[in-house]
Structure 1
């Protein structure tokens, strides 16, 4: 297994209420010539945790950090007028926390961060993941 030092939280940069699923992201990423969904997990608005790339495979979600990270993406992140905002549904909040708790147990030394913590040009995931999940960080 590859060493995991980061668990990176993303948003899909879609408007609140988007019906996007992992299969849609997978199709889009394949259209770019990728081998499939760049995230390891996708959480649609109903709170289902949908697996993307297997954890053993390097993701394609955060330049310079893919080799040693797990990428988790919730669907949403934009307000109705297209501005970055935390659009997580209650089901997404619950599912995301539960998934991060599971990943933290598997990778206890991995730091949970938002994409924006590694790329200041990004607003993703449109909330402060470090602060929200500080109880899970090493």
Structure 2
């Protein structure tokens, strides 16, 4: 079971990226408040996204959470993404590791379910089914918290 609790000092921002088939959002969580810091149309070339992030994230941050809609191997390399086949083979964790000391990669449906279970409508409920409708379809099931 994966734990989604953040281990960082109070007041220290946690940065997050939601990479989507159409757009990518960069967010910052400080004191329990999530703010969208920047938005870009998701580029076909993942190196363009990495350069954009380096311009918007101040220096090298402690922690970066990433919601990603494609397949990843254990090293954080893209194995499949029907919306962006050009990304297959790209070392996403390595590229983002130049921006953050700790990079946490999660499936976007899994990320949505974790968010609903910890901060959203499913908070306090032991079980939840979360469906994600966007450029693609996804979701996850939370059982026993």
Q: TM-score range by the shorter chain?
A: 0.3 to 0.5
Superposition TM-score, scaled by structure 2 size: 0.34
Query: Which structure's relative contact order is higher, taking Cα pairs within 8 Å and 6+ residues apart?
Result: 1
Determine which structure has more spread, i.e. the larger CA radius of gyration: 2
Superposition TM-score, scaled by structure 1 size: 0.35
